[in-house]
Amino acid sequence: RHASDAQHQDAATLLRDWSRQNVPVAVDDVGDGHDGIWRVAAVEPRYAKLSGWVARHARIKPGVLHHWSALLREFAVEVVLEGIETPADRENALRAGIALGQGYGLGCPVSQDTQQTGCSSL
């Protein structure tokens, strides 16, 4: 079952209120689907996480990453790029002014409880 528009609005209002109280809120998967910019505008998060799709697309057209980054900065958010898998992905992010990222190209995830890595050698 999908949430109604009213439920989406209620969630956005709650998250925006938290964000305005300095609770670090992130909007995930911006760049996937049609509503990423709407979610950023409605929630006013501290972070906007560009989807791994954007990182992969930037391998072919690096300018795409710069435009997404510039657009998101208009909303005064810190941009995080997901899906950094290669040194080229990292360089594309840095060239676009994105200093925060996630992906196996930056390191394997580590469990906070056991301090064990979540992947085998690449």
Residues of the chain with pLDDT > 90, as a percent, come to 51
Confidence category of residue 12, pLDDT binned at 50, 70, 90: confident
- Beta-bridge mates of residue 30: 50
CA atoms within 13 A on the CB side of 119: 9
Contact at 8 Å (CB) between 77 and 50? no
The phi and psi torsions of 29 (rounded to 5 degrees) equal 60, 35
The answer on pLDDT for 120 being more than 70 is: no
pLDDT in tens, 34-72: 778 888 988 899 999 999 999 999 999 989 999 999 999
- CA pair distance 99, 65, nearest whole angstrom: 13
pTM: 0.80
Confidence category of residue 13, pLDDT binned at 50, 70, 90: confident
